[in-house]
Amino acid sequence: SVFYKPADAFFRDNAQVALTYDDITLATRYSEVLPRMTNPETSLSESLQLSVPIVSADMDTVTESRMAIAMANNGGIGLIHYNMSEREQVKQVARVKNNIHGLIQDPISVKPGMHIAEVLDMMDAKGFKFSTFPVVDESGKLLGLLPGRAVKQRYRDRTVLEAMQPREQVFTLRQSQLEGDPIAAADRFFNDHLGIHKLLVVDDGDHLAGLFTLSDIERITGESRDNVKPARDSQFRLLCGAAVSAPRTPEGIIDRDKLLGHVTALVEEGVDAIAVSTAHGHTAGVGEAVRLLRGEFPGLTLIAGNVTSGEGVRFLAEAGANAIKVGQGPGSICTTRIVAGVGIPQLTALYVASREAAKAGVKIIADGGITKSGDMVKALTLADAVMCGGLLAGCPEAPGKIMEINGKLYKQYRGMGSLEAMKAGSAARYGHSNNIRNAKVAAEGVEAVKEVSDSVDQVLAQFIGGIQSGMGYLGARNLPELRERARYIRVSPAGQRESAPHDVIEVKTTQEHS
């Protein structure tokens, strides 16, 4: 059609103006694809696959462990923010990696000589919510199971040996019995053993090799019924990412030791992606941080940003990033364009970045400005995934205070460049010294609130449904086909008004959630 153009032709025609989501619409195409037949899976690197292309933003009012767990359970991934101590961030990642798992291949165990008090201290230090632990000797051989009911202050002076169930009373499966589908094997076991909630796996020498819990198995088998595929690593653990800044020494150079120490601790807990997350990623400092991490951790998925130019994408790709965050100024709480006068409307930025990313063989993440699932579909015609802050900040899984205003419930949502967030640690992201208490700095974000929303499960079900509808309209079975089949046209201001509900009084029926 002369009207609806593929990306290259469309953006060439519009080279004089920067566009964003609402400026355009996508043309429908002949389709043999129903929405439910579409598969929006994506990858952020060769090793990091997601079942849905949605990432929760590394912001201190969006992603901590609860959000990351919910995101991965729904097939996406969360990036734990860095406005907390390194130790706390490592703990948060550990919480996600230990949360729900088909088979926990490396379960936390205790030694027979420990006192219950030490077990309680360990749980506290690591933030574990579970309190049942296998008991093993120095060689990892299974000696028994310490039940949760024995892990109480009242028994703090007892030893694990005194409190545990001995080996002969502990149910186990051999690794060889798990061949094929381990979840199905565990499911059968729990069916046959009424009242048993923990199942240990041992090798031929009776060394501990894994642990199943009934609640995990129920969650997983329940999920597969709902057709939600959680995002997991090769050991069946949920995926989790974490953000770092590009830390500097007082002399202003990248603090290599601090960065390496921090990332090493995250990697030891099994983090799946590290994002070097700053407001301006096309800088010497971010390039150096990415190069350093790539050199030390060759197989680790590295995300870096943010940029809005082809040169910026190439620069970070050459430094070793796998996925590049694109977006300067589109965020709902972002004032960079007003304060600094820079930044590019998001759709044009994504187009420019996507062309360079294809050449460099890297992925791009559309970061900021997504306000509805239609924006996600538009973004995914150019990007490999979208990153959301505001759309998730009202969920109960997001951190942050809930407040009541005029009888309605709201949750705090603030930019990482807002004054309060920068005081809490994110100043370096905006190129300021981390000790800004007395300095005069220009905030590039606002503090705001979002109405409290449904849970992540429900919110993401709507977004994923929207993405799949969009794919159905374009006749695209998967995201590569969506990219290929996308045809764009600009919309007039009247066209934009026409796109949203108009000339009606909207009523809300509450959906019943089972």
Q: What is the 3-state secondary structure (H, E, C) of 356-408?
A: HHHHHCCEEEEECCCCCHHHHHHHHCCCCEEEECCCCCCCCCCCCCEEEECCE
Beta bridge partners of 451: 410
Asked whether 479 and 365 are in contact (CB, 8 A), the reply is no
**Segment near ligand RVP (CB under 6 A); pick from 81-89, 139-147, 286-294, 388-396:** 388-396
Residue 331 is a binding residue for ligand RVP (CB under 6 A): yes
Residue 336 is a binding residue for ligand RVP (CB under 6 A): yes
CB of 232 to ligand RVP, least distance (A): 24
**Around 113, how many Cα atoms within 13 Å sit in the side-chain half-sphere?**
2
Query: Which residue, 281 or 470, has its beta carbon nearer to ligand RVP?
Result: 281
Query: Which residue, 26 or 57, has its beta carbon nearer to ligand RVP?
Result: 57
331 is in an annotated binding site: yes
**Segment near ligand RVP (CB under 6 A); pick from 132-140, 281-289, 402-410, 411-419:** 411-419
327 is in an annotated binding site: yes
Among 303, 333, 349, 459, which residue interacts with ligand RVP (rule: CB under 6 A)? Answer: 333
**Segment near ligand RVP (CB under 6 A); pick from 129-137, 263-271, 280-288, 416-424:** 416-424
Alpha-carbon torsion, ordered 127, 129, 131, 133, to 10 deg: -70
Residue 332 is a binding residue for ligand RVP (CB under 6 A): yes
Residue 57 is a binding residue for ligand RVP (CB under 6 A): yes
Residue 417 is a binding residue for ligand RVP (CB under 6 A): yes
Among 415, 425, 470, 472, which residue interacts with ligand RVP (rule: CB under 6 A)? Answer: 415
Question: Which DSSP string do the residues of 223-287 spell out, in sequence order?
Answer: HHHHT----B-TTSBBP-EEEE---B-TTSSB-HHHHHHHHHHHHHTT-SEEEEE-S--SSHHHH
Residue 470 is a binding residue for ligand RVP (CB under 6 A): no
144 is in an annotated binding site: no
Q: β-strand 273-277 against 241-244: which pairing, if any?
A: parallel
49 is in an annotated binding site: no
Over the window 246 to 265, marking each residue x when it contacts ligand RVP by CB under 6 A and - when it does not, the resulting string is --------------------
Nearest to 231 by CA among 371, 388, 372, 69: 69
CB of 56 to ligand RVP, least distance (A): 9
Tokens 């590290």 locate to: 274
CB of 130 to ligand RVP, least distance (A): 32
CB of 79 to ligand RVP, least distance (A): 9
Query: Which residue, 65 or 426, has its beta carbon nearer to ligand RVP?
Result: 426
Largest Cα span, the chain = 81
Nearest to 448 by CA among 366, 305, 335, 370: 335
How many residues touch ligand RVP (CB under 6 A)? 24
Give the footprint of ligand RVP on residues 348-377 (CB under 6 A): 367-370
75 is in an annotated binding site: no
Asked whether 177 and 185 are in contact (CB, 8 A), the reply is yes
Return the active site residues: 334, 429
Burial per residue of 123-142, b for 16 or more beta-carbon CB atoms within 10 angstroms, e otherwise: beeeebebebbbbbeeeeeb
Asked whether 466 and 29 are in contact (CB, 8 A), the reply is no
Query: Which residue, 143 or 334, has its beta carbon nearer to ligand RVP?
Result: 334
Question: Residue 508 in 3-state DSSP?
Answer: coil
Among 210, 327, 399, 425, which residue interacts with ligand RVP (rule: CB under 6 A)? Answer: 327
Question: Which DSSP string do the residues of 46-99 spell out, in sequence order?
Answer: SS-EESS-EEE---TTT-SHHHHHHHHHTT-EEEE-SSS-HHHHHHHHHHHHTT
List residues near ligand RVP by CB under 6 A: 57, 59, 306, 327, 331-334, 336, 367-370, 387-391, 415-418, 444-445
Known binding residues for NAD(+) are 327-329
